């Protein structure tokens, strides 16, 4: 996702982990790429998001995460 946004993977990870907040230009790019509102990105509020995106998010959250083990 970092590449699509024009930022480093390390910077993207700080956003994912809640260590920093994306600036407005990155929030705009996230919206352009995904349709996710700033309300969802910043506080998790789903109201007003596109139905297709909500379905994908719900499906993703129901699917057990698969991670590589070190």
Q: What is the pLDDT of residues 39-51, one digit of tens each?
A: 888 887 877 777 8
Whole-number pLDDT of residue 43: 81
Q: Would the pLDDT of 4 be above 70?
A: yes
Q: Would the pLDDT of 10 be above 90?
A: yes
Q: Model-level pTM?
A: 0.68
Tokens at residue 69, please? 């083990």
Gap between the Cα atoms of 50 and 40, Å rounded: 11
Gap between the Cα atoms of 67 and 62, Å rounded: 15
Q: Give the DSSP letter string of 12-49.
A: HHHHHTTSS---HHHHHHHHHHH---HHHHHH---TT-
Whole-number pLDDT of residue 21: 94
């Amino acid at each position: 996702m970092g590449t699509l946004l024009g930022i480093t993977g390390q910077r993207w990870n700080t956003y994912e982990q809640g260590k920093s907040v994306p600036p407005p230009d990155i929030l705009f790019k996230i919206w352009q790429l995904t349709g996710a509102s700033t309300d969802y990105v910043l506080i998790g509020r789903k109201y007003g998001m596109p139905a297709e995106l909500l379905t994908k998010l719900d499906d993703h959250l129901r699917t057990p995460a698969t991670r590589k083990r070190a």
